[in-house]
């Protein structure tokens, strides 16, 4: 029987190929198109797309609208998900995993089907077409709420009860224990949930088109328009790069906040 031994470098080859074909090369193409323009059939290096984005009132208003919808949707998801995750995680329900599953199950259903069903429900109760912004936010919350619940539940369920008991023994009431111990210890789940809801809410134009009657334009829709409708890959790529920078900065800030929060807990907990 022949034994085949693979070194670590050899085992990395499939991953390296995948990374090169589906991450590195597409990113290089996006960068190429973002910082070039076509003039008389000739492609040349240019910052025109970058300047055009930040000098265009329409594009900046789209960016602001995307931020507004994402912030409101994320805040509502957090306000709904935190009490729910807290009750499920800290309760003694024997079937709490089943209850959690009921909130996670919508993620298993096709996204388009869920949004279409929500559209029919909004139409049935008379909200569809009355307020496109409200309907879009309802759709974002409905779609991304499970992504907020799951990390919060996981973090709260793993909390060490000894911290809570120590805080209570030191004279803390329920409100003090929650604000000084429970909530700070649950911040990793809060940050993970915010990250998983905020960024997709800025780009998920299927929700805004379906529930906003194509009257709401967010960054994801704007990118799609430049690639398909306007056939301007240069500006579409530039907007994609700007969105990637926003995602990177968000992840950088949330990661730093996690580190600072961890240090603060070590210094200030009971």
Is the pTM for the entire model greater than 0.95?
A: no
Q: Which neighbouring-strand residues pair with 27?
A: none
User: Rounded to an integer, what distance in angstroms lies between the CA atom of residue 187 and that of residue 182?
Assistant: 9
Which pLDDT value is given to residue 3? 59
Tokens representing 174 are 């329920």
pLDDT at 260: 55
Give, for all 270 residues of the chain, the pLDDT tens digit: 555 666 677 778 888 899 999 999 999 999 999 999 988 888 899 999 999 999 999 999 999 999 999 999 999 999 999 999 998 888 777 777 777 788 788 778 888 888 999 999 999 998 888 889 999 999 999 999 999 999 999 999 888 888 888 888 788 788 888 888 889 999 999 999 998 999 889 889 999 999 988 889 999 999 999 999 999 999 999 999 999 998 888 878 776 655 555 554 544 444
pLDDT of residue 201: 92
- From the list 96, 104, 112, the residue with the least C-alpha distance to 211 is 112
Nearest to 89 by CA among 174, 6, 17, 189: 189
Give residue 213's pLDDT: 86
Nearest-5° Cα angle at 97, 95 to 101: 120
Distances (CA, A) of 220 to 136, 207, 212, 237: 14, 11, 14, 12
Q: What is the CATH number of domain 48-268?
A: 1.10.3720.10
Q: Look at residues 150, 149, 181 and name the one whose alpha carbon lies nearest to residue 164.
A: 181
Alpha-carbon distances of 109 from 105, 113, 199, rounded to whole Å: 7, 7, 21
Half-sphere exposure of 225 (CA within 13 A, CB side): 15
Cα–Cα–Cα angle for 119, 64, 38, rounded to 5 degrees: 100
Strand partners, 36: 45
Domain boundaries, the chain: 48-268
Q: What is the pLDDT of residue 42?
A: 87
């Amino acid at each position: 029987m022949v034994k085949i031994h693979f070194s670590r470098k050899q085992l990395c080859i499939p991953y390296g190929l995948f990374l090169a074909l589906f991450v590195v090369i597409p990113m290089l193409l996006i960068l190429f198109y973002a910082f070039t323009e076509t003039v008389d059939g000739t492609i040349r290096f240019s910052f025109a797309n970058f300047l055009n984005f930040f000098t265009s009132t329409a594009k900046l208003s789209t960016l602001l609208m995307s931020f507004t919808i994402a912030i409101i949707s994320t805040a509502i998801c957090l306000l709904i998900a935190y009490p729910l995750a807290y009750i499920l995680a800290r309760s003694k329900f024997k079937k709490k995993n089943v209850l959690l599953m009921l909130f996670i199950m919508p993620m298993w259903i096709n996204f388009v089907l869920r949004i279409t069903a929500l559209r029919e429900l909004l139409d049935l109760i008379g909200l569809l077409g009355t307020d496109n912004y409200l309907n879009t936010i309802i759709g974002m919350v409905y779609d991304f709420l499970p992504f907020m619940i799951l990390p919060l539940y996981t973090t709260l369920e793993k909390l060490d009860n000894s911290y809570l008991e120590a805080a209570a023994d030191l004279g803390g009431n329920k409100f003090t224990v929650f604000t000084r111990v429970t909530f700070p210890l649950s911040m990793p789940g809060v940050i993970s949930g915010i990250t998983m809801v905020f960024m997709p809410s800025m780009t998920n134009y299927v929700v805004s088109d379906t529930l906003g009657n194509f009257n709401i334009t967010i960054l994801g829709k704007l990118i799609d328009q430049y690639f398909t409708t306007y056939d301007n890959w240069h500006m579409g790529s530039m907007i994609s790069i700007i969105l990637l920078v926003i995602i990177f900065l968000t992840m950088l800030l949330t990661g730093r906040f996690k580190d600072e929060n961890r240090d603060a807990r070590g210094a200030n907990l009971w």
